[in-house]
Amino acid sequence: MSLLHDLSKDRRVVVYAAAVVLALIFIAVFGLKFGLDLEGGSYLQLQLQGAVAQVDVSPEKILEAQFHGTSVEKHGDSYFVTVQGKVDSTLADDLGYSGAKIVERDNTSKVTIIAAPETVITNYLKKSLDADVKIVGVAPVKYEIRTNVSRDSLNAILAPVGGSVPSGEDAFVEGVTADTVDETKKVLDSKLNRLGLQDIKVRIVDNKFILIDLAGMDVATAQDVVGKPGKFEIRIQTENNQTVHVLYGDAVESVDIPQGDRQGGWGVPFMLSEEGAKVFQKAAIDAGATKDPDAHYISMYLDKDEIFSAPLAAELAGSLAKSPVRNLEARVGSGDAGSQKAKELYIHLREGALPVNVEIVGSGQVSAALGKQFKVQMVIAGLIALLAVAGMIFYRYREKRVVLPMITTSLSEVVMMLGIWSLAGWQLDLASLAGIIMVIGTGVDQLVIITDELIRGGEASALERSIKERAAEAAAKAGTAIAPTSSKVYLGRLSRAFSIILGAAATTVVAMLPLLYMGFGALTGFALIIILGVFLGVAIARPAYGRIIGHILGTS
């Protein structure tokens, strides 16, 4: 009782006990989540299709080819394209040159386009590749092409306008920019979480690949969920079940959560941009949907797969006949089926369109039974590790009062690590459990250093020891007891032990840090659990153990 009373007054021991209790509460409240290895499920490897390239091409030749012009002149920021005969009034807009002016005189037309040379090149690549193209560099200008393209295919596209990709490895690099990869990862994170798949691991490798672990999900479902996102498009029915393009996903400015009405119907409200609303109105009028909405369905596609199709509401058709409408709602049905469809459509409208096309290049599955077996085996391995450590400690010291505090401290460190893991909502996998076992081993090493310093005094010289200490040590060697030391000497030895421990801890943390940024998921979990264990040990467990073992041995 006197020992417990003394320890209860020690600040380090109190903090240690509070941390363990708090960790147990976290585990009880939030629970432990297990990853693919232990829960079963599937993994996917996605390759981001795209390239960053330089192009050597004349904007004048591009415009001449696009408008079938006879000549192109540039003055300031404007290009003047001369065309024999008339020019379709929608051609400039279709090619991406909104605001272009067309003046007809005699049998010729002059098209005035205000655009930078890079804009002309970007529009040509977009139209030729049917993909998003973004300017990502200057001096030299580089273009990020967000689709599957090779150097040869890009040269073939540029050849008709006298262009090509410059020679050199830097002129054409497969893959997309880090910003695009990060944007793609965020969309996938959001999409998966909106489907209720919490704590899905989405990792990036070399700006070309994304690795995804989906615990508790089979491969076929995983491929359907992850591989589905792509280019979002709105089309309108014209005649004979034919449809024409109206808008892409970038025209959708915002999406509200699905809403149900009193009749049990469900819909997804969304808002178009101002320009998008004008384009939508024009398409509806041109197709005749404002006059006969039931015969002209509005369809939404994701990677050319239809995800929604319905006619315009009569009220909306009447409004569109008079002016553009920005606020729209996609009605999807009623009941539970309507609710589910509304949820899926909401995800597609808000997060469905990835900024770049992806291809599933690898997949695999771990069965639930095998995951359960791994879980049991890792628990058994952990218990064996603790028992082995306990046996070695007892063999070394032959003192129960030393063995029990060491094992209890090691076990409490595991509890604290699991408590933080649970609070953060991270998944435990084989790698992280292996890291826990490693932390147990390295932690015991440090506890042995502390214990040895307190028992033997390390490298302290005889002059530093009192006659009483040497007599006590002689008695200890005779087998009577572990020798007590003075409080001052105890603190000095404890300080020496911690200088060794801090050096070892710092080395371990520095060695693990690169693994956190390499992009390989298993290594990341392994490194993170070890770093966490080191910090918890050095900051909480080791100082408390030093105090506890000091009180037990009567050295403090």
Q: What is the mean pLDDT of residues 431-449?
A: 86
Averaged over 195-216, what is the pLDDT? Answer: 71
How does pLDDT run across 402-428, given as a tens digit for each residue? Answer: 888 888 998 999 999 999 999 988 888
pLDDT of 260-271, one tens digit each? 777 788 888 888
Whole-number Cα distances in Å, 324 to 292, 319, 362, 455 = 18, 8, 46, 86
Per-residue pLDDT tens digits for 298-323: 988 876 778 888 888 888 888 898 88
pLDDT digits (tens, 9 = 90+) for 85-116: 888 877 887 788 877 899 988 889 999 999 99
490 confidence band (pLDDT: 50, 70, 90)? low
Q: Any idea what the Cα angle at residue 205 is, between residues 201 and 208, rounded to 5°?
A: 115
Q: How high is the pLDDT of residue 118?
A: 92
Higher pLDDT, residue 460 or 152? 152
pLDDT of residue 145 exceeding 80, the answer is yes
290 HSE (CA, 13 A, CB side): 15
For residue range 23-42, list pLDDT tens digits in order. 999 999 988 888 777 777 77
Question: What is the percent of the chain where pLDDT is above 70?
Answer: 85
- Stated as kind and residue range, the H or E segment containing 98 is none
> Which stretches of 260-399 are DSSP H helices?
274-287, 314-320, 335-347, 368-397
Q: Could you report the per-residue pLDDT of 124-143, keeping only the tens digit for each?
A: 998 898 888 888 888 889 99
The pLDDT tens digits of the residues spanning 350-374 come to: 655 567 777 888 777 776 667 677 7
Q: What pLDDT does residue 503 have?
A: 85
Residue 473 predicted with pLDDT over 90: no
Of the candidate ranges 123-132, 459-468, 470-479, the one whose mean pLDDT is the lowest: 459-468
* Domains within the chain, CATH numbers bracketed: 2-40+367-553 (1.20.1640.10), 43-48+178-225 (3.30.1070), 52-174 (no CATH), 230-353 (3.30.1360.200)
Per-residue pLDDT, 381: 81
Q: What is the pLDDT of residue 550?
A: 80
Report the alpha-carbon distance of residue 367 to residue 370 in Å, rounded. Answer: 5
Residue 155 has pLDDT above 90, yes or no: yes
The answer, yes or no, to whether residue 484 has pLDDT greater than 70, is no
